[in-house]
Amino acid sequence: MTEVTETLELKLVDPNTHKHRKLCETKTAYQRALSAAFNANCATQSATNDIVVDYDL
- Distance from chain centroid for Cα 1: 45
- Entry pTM: 0.63
Domains of the chain by residue range? 19-52
* Residues 57 and 33 sit within 8 Å (Cβ to Cβ): yes
Rounded Cα–Cα distance for residues 44 and 15 (Å): 36
Return per-residue pLDDT of the chain as tens, 57 residues: 788 888 999 888 888 999 999 999 999 999 999 999 999 998 899 999 999 998 888
Rounded Cα–Cα distance for residues 20 and 24 (Å): 6
